[in-house]
Amino acid sequence: MSNFRSRAGALLPLVAALLVTAAPAHAEWDKIRLSGSLKVAVYEQFAPFSDRGAGIDVEVAQALASKLGLKLSLLPFPAGENLGDDLRNMVWKGHYLGYGPADIMLHVPVEPQLMNENGKVTIFAPYHVETVRLVRSARSMPVFDGIDALNGKTIGVEKVSIAAMVLLGEGNGRFRDKVRIFDTAAEALEQLKAGQLDAVLANRSEIDSVFRDDPAFPLNEVAFQRLPRAGWAVGMAVRKDDQEMARLLQAAVNDMKASGELQAIFARHGVHEQMP
């Protein structure tokens, strides 16, 4: 009996700890469920994913809310200086101006380093793999046979983007004088279409949504030293203690993949979905 009591006494703190850690996960989900709405943070001015209340991520958010039996409450927000800022402002704390946090944030890179640096959130459920591609005017650049073909060509990029970083830094800045920087990739792509640029380096999804496989503007893979050729997966983030909601959202994403619903959302915007 004394041995039993000893074991029971040793287990009680562990059981209590498990109950404490498990309770918030369901409690947070219960609050969201009772509110009747799912607050989803999406980047603004981020076509084709989210721009002026429309885009791929907006439709994904609507589908997730519906599958959870909730109404969608969309929280568009401007990108901060880094992803850590965005996760703090839109997921686990809220902006100091009183905006946020949301229940979930979309388009979060599913990267081990980002996860390790942001312990107050859970990053999960990748639903797309993004890559950087070169789109060129077949008239001004009829042939592309490697990175040296960019010499002397006017190339557009979005400011503060991976494309801008790798192009401006390539070969100690050898292309820098001919690079034109725009506020958004969409602006650069429109200038390419208008004949003001020879090519644009941008995310493939951004290119797809504008040119939709137009043979006058072919795509090419470019091998930059600092660019991950396999691309990077994007998923979503919730607060660390919202594990029940994370489980439900993961199940919803799995269902959307299996049914073809996710692929159909991308296709409506002219984007080739790249599955993780």
Alpha helix (H) ranges present in the chain? 2-35, 56-67, 83-87, 112-117, 162-169, 185-193, 204-211, 243-259, 261-268
Cα–Cα distance, 156 to 154 (Å, whole number): 7
d(CA 175, CA 258): 43
Nearest to 133 by CA among 113, 110, 155: 155
Find the domain containing 164 and state its range: 132-220
| Residues 165, 77 within the same domain | no
Report pLDDT digits (tens) over 209-243: 999 999 999 999 998 878 877 899 999 999 999 99
In a domain, 121, yes or no: yes
Q: What average pLDDT does range 53-71 have in this prediction?
A: 98
Residue 30, pLDDT score: 86
For residue 175, the model assigns a pLDDT of 94
Number of structural domains found in the chain: 2
Residues of the chain above pLDDT 90, percent = 78
Q: Is a pLDDT exceeding 80 seen at residue 113?
A: yes
In a domain, 7, yes or no: no
Residue 30 and residue 70 in one domain:
yes
Mean pLDDT for 205-209 is: 97
If pLDDT is split at 50, 70 and 90, which confidence band does 26 have?
Answer: low
CA–CA gap between residue 112 and residue 120 (Å, rounded): 14
pLDDT exceeds 70 at position 6? no
Residue 11 has pLDDT above 60, yes or no: no
Q: What φ, ψ does residue 74 adopt, rounded to 5°?
A: -90, 135
pLDDT per residue over 120-165, tens digit each? 999 999 999 999 999 999 999 999 999 999 999 999 999 989 999 9
Q: What's the mean per-residue pLDDT of the chain?
A: 90
User: Sorting pLDDT into bands at 50, 70 and 90, what band is 3?
Assistant: very low
Amino acid occupying residue 70: L
* Total Cβ atoms within 10 A of residue 212: 11
pLDDT beyond 90 at 166: yes
118: helix, strand or coil? coil
Same domain, 36 and 122: yes
- Dist CA 255 CA 54 (whole Å): 22
State the CB neighbour count (10 A cutoff) for residue 176.
Answer: 12
Is 216 inside a domain boundary? yes
Do 77 and 206 belong to one domain? no
In the chain, DSSP finds a helix count (H) and a strand count (E) of 9, 10
CATH code, domain with 215:
3.40.190.10
User: Do 48 and 178 reside in the same domain of the chain?
Assistant: no
Whether 259 is in a domain gets the answer: yes
**Residues 29 and 152 both lie in one domain:** no
**Residue 75 belongs to some domain of the structure:** yes
Do 83 and 36 lie in a common domain? yes
Give the closest residue to 137 by CA, choosing from 178, 196, 186: 196
Residue 112: inside a domain:
yes
119 and 138: one domain?
no
Question: Do 29 and 100 fall within a single domain?
Answer: yes
Q: Is residue 192 part of a domain?
A: yes
